[in-house]
Chain A
Amino acid sequence: MGQLSWPFIILLLLTIISAVVVVAERNIVRAAVSLGLSFLGVAGLYLLLHAPFLAGAQVLIYVGAITILILFAIMMTAQRLMRPPRRALETWILSGAVATALFGTLAYVIINTRWHEVDRAAQARPDVDYVPVLADSLLQTYLFPFEVASVLLLVALVGAIILAKEERID
């Protein structure tokens, strides 16, 4: 398990490089496509981790639905956004702070996780990607957080509709 396998390295490069392109690319459509590519790389990583169901769901939802919706929204609102975004100092500071905080949190979690125990637990339950097991944990064990997440999505949906409506009344 110690060394890196070449599929892992390829997927890693795909994910990271396209993620960098998402941020660095000034053309917003290309950035969105690159985001989809990055999601695809993550799906590949799930496959390497023996989780084909998760990989399929990742492609279906993130690559096939969310990124497409982003692209769609970009094209509907089109021409104004085609201009490269302005890069003011406060934007730099704000996004820099958010990025640093996020990086710090993730690094903290990664460093403090005892990966050997996680590995052992995973070996003890080789069936975690079996669909009924996933269904059990989503719809029984973690039913409440699952439903709360869907309420959150509903709130976002209603909010988006209200925003769009207000614009039309003006």
Chain B
Amino acid sequence: MDGEEQSVVVELIIALVKIALVVAVIMVLVPFLVWGERKYVADVQVRIGPNRVGPFGLLQSLADGIKLMFKEDILPGHVDRVLYFLAPIVMMIPALCVMAVIPFGNQITLFGHTTRLVVTDLPVGILYVLALTSLGVYGVVLAGWASNNKYSLLGGLRSSAQMVSYELPMGLAIVAALMISSAKGGEMSLVSIVEAQKDGFWNWNFLWWGIGFLPFLMYWICGIAETNRAPFDLPEAETELVAGYHTEYSGMKFALFFLAEYANMLNVGAIATTLFCGGWHSPIPIEILPKSMGLLKALGPVFWFSVKVGFFIWAYYHLRATLPRLRYDRLMGFAWKGLVPLALVNILIVATIITLGYREKPVPPSTSQRPASQAVGMAGQPGPGGF
């Protein structure tokens, strides 16, 4: 085995380890997220919440998971077998794939190999995220239709309309974020977007010229709607629709829907962190912190990333605990008459500021002068890390 071949093998191993790590972290985290949500909502409603299994009921969700795994795999007689089987899978896979481009830390060096804490840094990262999140609708639509049950079908229809509608303002909010980021020298890859927001929280995109919070809030609202969470959880409004699109599902298939929902929550939180809140950067650059705050200085990028994502997860819980569900026509009206025009106006304002000459850093050279080697790297991305 010559040197080049060996490095390819090492790259492959590193990539596989990173993939396994990301998937494992999500799978382990979800039960605790469910526990945290139940506890938090219980607290807000002056209840106790799960407290029997394990200390503070911590193992409750694990017990539930084990129960779901050993349940009989029921296949109702009236369903479309192929699509009924496919729907939870289609729901789960994009949710996990999105994680692949999210940078959760800076470079680290282990056993002499330096690597970034991201599975793969795609040159079209944010487009990849948008494309995959748009696939999540399939799971809902197919589940609703294949169940051959009016509650499921209505839930599926509602959800597909909702998700398609909110995808539009979400895309427009991301466009604004990309424009802001490109004014700072970032590109479409998520790593470059994070790196354009370094050196302190005042450089984070959501504080950009006092207008960055607008796309940030819009992204966050659309993210909640996309994940079908309260107050936008109409697809599974239990008072009207039983359980919506997953009424007919039980056992592991139901667990997959559940997992996908929480994985998607993590995704939305992580993307919001990456696009608007400086990704893995600490709020105050470590270099300018006084020596006495050694503890804060020692905390790594992964810590800051987790804290920010944790904040968004908390916001999910809190919104669910405090807000009532929207009426359906209000929900659609809000997307089409409220968010879409607002997003367009926002893009206009951002574009005006940028055109009027606002530049924080020199822009990368225009494409015609772009060195060929770099351009090839953009398009080709050889090795297991890229496509």
CA distance A169 to B157 in the complex (A): 25
- Stretch of A8-16, A58-66, A104-112, A142-150 at the chain-chain interface: A58-66
A126→B375 contact, CB < 8 A: yes
Q: Mark B276-287, 1 if CB is under 8 A from A, else 0.
A: 000000000000
Chain A residues with Cβ below 8 Å from B124 are: 52-53, 56, 131
Chain A residues with Cβ below 8 Å from B17 are: none
Partner of B367, one of A57, A71, A127: A127
Chain B residues with Cβ below 8 Å from A50 are: 379-380
Report if A133 contacts B (CB, 8 A): yes
A126→B153 contact, CB < 8 A: no
CA distance A47 to B134 in the complex (A): 18
Indicate the member of A63, A68, A69 with the most B CB atoms within 10 Å.
Answer: A68
B134→A127 contact, CB < 8 A: no
- Stretch of A28-36, A95-103, A159-167 at the chain-chain interface: A28-36
Chain A residues with Cβ below 8 Å from B153 are: 75
Indicate the member of A51, A130, A133 with the most B CB atoms within 10 Å.
Answer: A130
A127→B131 contact, CB < 8 A: no
B138→A129 contact, CB < 8 A: no
B134→A60 contact, CB < 8 A: yes
Q: A64's closest neighbor in chain B, by CB?
A: B134
CA distance A33 to B366 in the complex (A): 41
Report if B122 contacts A (CB, 8 A): yes
Chain A residues with Cβ below 8 Å from B160 are: 68, 71-72, 75
Cβ distance B98 to chain A, nearest Cβ, rounded Å: 12
Report if B36 contacts A (CB, 8 A): no
Partner of B83, one of A29, A53, A59: A29
Interface of A is mostly: helix
Q: B141's closest neighbor in chain A, by CB?
A: A71
Q: A124's closest neighbor in chain B, by CB?
A: B372
Q: How large is the interface on A (under 10, 10 to 19, 20 to 34, 35 or more residues)?
A: 20 to 34
A75→B141 contact, CB < 8 A: yes
Chain B residues with Cβ below 8 Å from A33 are: 83, 86, 138, 142
CA distance A126 to B382 in the complex (A): 14
Indicate the member of A60, A75, A129 with the most B CB atoms within 10 Å.
Answer: A60
CA distance A104 to B144 in the complex (A): 40
A30→B370 contact, CB < 8 A: no
Chain B residues with Cβ below 8 Å from A51 are: 379
Report if B242 contacts A (CB, 8 A): no
B370→A130 contact, CB < 8 A: yes
Contact count A vs B, C-beta below 8 Å:
101
Given A53-B127, A72-B157, A126-B372, does the pair A59, B379 have CB atoms closer than 8 Å?
Answer: no
A72→B141 contact, CB < 8 A: yes
Residues facing A in B126-158 (CB within 8 A) are: 127-128, 130-132, 134-135, 137-138, 141-142, 144-145, 153, 156-157
B135→A63 contact, CB < 8 A: yes
Chain A residues with Cβ below 8 Å from B372 are: 126-127
CA distance A21 to B14 in the complex (A): 39
A47→B82 contact, CB < 8 A: no
Partner of B145, one of A36, A52, A59, A75: A75
Cβ distance B300 to chain A, nearest Cβ, rounded Å: 30
Residues facing A in B300-332 (CB within 8 A) are: none
Cβ distance A68 to chain B, nearest Cβ, rounded Å: 5
Given A47-B387, A75-B157, A132-B366, does the pair A65, B379 have CB atoms closer than 8 Å?
Answer: no
Chain B residues with Cβ below 8 Å from A75 are: 141, 144-145, 153, 156-157, 160
Report if A1 contacts B (CB, 8 A): no
Partner of A29, one of B122, B145, B367, B379: B145
Given A30-B83, A52-B124, A133-B367, does the pair A65, B164 have CB atoms closer than 8 Å?
Answer: yes
Report if B161 contacts A (CB, 8 A): yes
Tell me the B residues contacting A by CB distance below 8 Å. 80, 82-83, 86, 122-124, 127-128, 130-132, 134-135, 137-138, 141-142, 144-145, 153, 156-157, 160-161, 164, 167, 188, 366-367, 370, 372, 375-376, 378-381, 387
Give 13 A-B pairs besides A60-B131, A63-B134 with Cβ atoms closer than 8 angstroms. A29-B145, A33-B138, A52-B379, A56-B131, A59-B132, A65-B167, A68-B137, A75-B141, A126-B376, A127-B372, A129-B379, A131-B124, A131-B188
12 contacts between A and B (CB under 8 A): A33-B142, A47-B387, A52-B381, A53-B123, A56-B127, A63-B135, A65-B134, A68-B134, A68-B160, A126-B380, A127-B370, A130-B378
